[in-house]
Amino acid sequence: MSRRSRVLFFMVVSMFLGYMPWYGFSAVLPQLVREFGLTPRQTGSILSVFQLGYVLTVIASGILADRFGNKRVLVGATLATGIFSTLFAFLSGGYASILVLRLLTGLSAGAIYAPGMALLSAWFPPEKRGMALGAYTAALTASYAGGYCIAGPLSAVISWRWSIMAISLPVFAAAFLLAGCVKDVPNDNIPMPKTAPTVREPLFPDGPRAPFLLTLGYFGHMWELYAFWGWVGPFLGACALSAGWSAPRAESFSGLASAGIILAGSFAVAAIGFLSDRLGRRKTILLAGSASAAAQFFFGFLHGGSLAGVLGIGSWIGFWCIADSAVYKAGLCELVPPSRRATALGIQSAIGYTATVFSPLVFGWIMGLKVEGLDETMRWGLAFSSLGAGALLAPAALFFFPERQRLERQIACDRRAL
């Protein structure tokens, strides 16, 4: 196995282990509601504050990674994520403490993704970068599914606190793997200019239009993605209860079914990342963004109907809503100098994750509406429709993306590397 392949392998494994706590709160939500009396709007605010923590950290993590190295930031952030997730399992005593501990976990997790993307983009050339970043994002998606799969069923048979511990301990193994098995790209892999530049390269040498459109599309993509992942578990549980299932059986079903829906996306993101290396970033984003957004407009209205139909449409959304996630990153890497890559990825991530702060709040606000004639099915339907409306921004923005400019930028980078 080559050095490059080994780095990708351990990065993928560490990502899978390190992000399991992300949706631990959603996986054990039914027990938290019973124990602490959380309302839909409080649930939305807890989901949002986790994302806010991510946003507050992600730009700083990119700047620090460009200055001190991606690996140092990755190891420290992964370790902190494990610590605060463990504290969430044992110190949560109500809405306020849950809010604070989830914020701290989000602050830690926010320093992982952008440096990880930057590290891999340095190891892989443009023609293989979509595949590598797609595999990394697939591991992230599988990790979310793993968290649901482990914590949801466990919380139905034992304490929710121990189920959170079960998804927190693997994070420490991820930090160990990163520290011992992953390296920043060695100096001999970085093409050095013949003369040192007198000024630092601009962040966007070819102008801001293409990066702006990519980031705008990423904002719409993220508006849909994380709110869907955060609310699909509670929705599936509500669907099972409406079908007459007992509460413990519904909780176990929601955890396993949510894991399956999210896991479907892990296959999609690897395949679409590979496909984007051949068809271009624009076409793949138009395909994936349109496919997931359209289904959101009627997914929630399936509440009270066939569980098979809910699972079928949920799996369709789960496949497409994450499929193009790595494409935005790969496209941006081709528009910025290598020395500014982590910073650019951090900025894009911060803007995208800002959407994830507000979309769960909007979702929770809709679910909390008390309007005459607005039953539970209508609330779920309108809430998921709000995700579809935001998701349409991605294909709308990428419709105007100058794919030609991206290709010319990639060719120029390749020539400088020779």
Whether 199 is in a domain gets the answer: no
DSSP 125: -
How high is the pLDDT of residue 194? 41
Residue 252 has pLDDT above 90, yes or no: no
Rounded average pLDDT over 352-368: 88
294 in Cβ contact with 374 (< 8 Å): no
Q: What pLDDT, on the 0 to 100 scale, is given for residue 23? A: 81
In a domain, 159, yes or no: yes
pLDDT at 401 > cutoff 90? no
48 assigned to some structural domain: yes
Domain count, the chain: 1
Q: What is the pLDDT of residue 57?
A: 85
**C-alpha angle 274-226-128 in degrees, rounded to nearest 5:** 15
Distances (CA, A) of 234 to 44, 238, 262: 12, 6, 14
C-alpha–C-alpha distance, residues 65 and 79, integer Å: 16
Output the average pLDDT for the chain. Answer: 84
- Which tokens hold the place of 345? 């990825």
Inside any domain, residue 195 = no
Confidence of residue 408 (pLDDT cuts 50, 70, 90): very low
Within a domain: 409: yes
Confidence of residue 366 (pLDDT cuts 50, 70, 90): very high
pLDDT at 192: 38
**190 in a structural domain:** no
Angle between helices 341-367 and 209-242 (to 10 degrees): 40
| pLDDT of res. 11 | 94
pLDDT digits 0-9 by tens, 106-115: 999 888 877 8
Q: Could you report the per-residue pLDDT of 283-336, keeping only the tens digit for each?
A: 888 888 899 999 999 999 999 899 999 999 999 999 999 888 878 887 887 787
- Residue whose token pair is 């539970």: 376
Domain containing 256 equals 3-184+204-417
State pLDDT tens for residues 159-189. 899 999 999 999 999 999 999 998 887 654 4
Q: Is residue 191 part of a domain?
A: no
- What is the C-alpha to C-alpha distance for residues 67 and 231, in angstroms, rounded to an integer? 37
CATH number, domain of 44, equals: 1.20.1250.20
Q: pLDDT digit string (tens) for 28-37? A: 988 899 999 9
More confident residue, 193 or 6: 6
Say yes or no to pLDDT of 21 above 60.
yes
CA distance 286 to 39: 36
Which percentage of the chain shows pLDDT scores above 90?
39
Q: Is residue 39 one of the residues assigned to a domain?
A: yes
Torsion of CA 16, 12, 329, 46, to 10 degrees: 10
**Which one-letter amino acid corresponds to residue 211?**
P
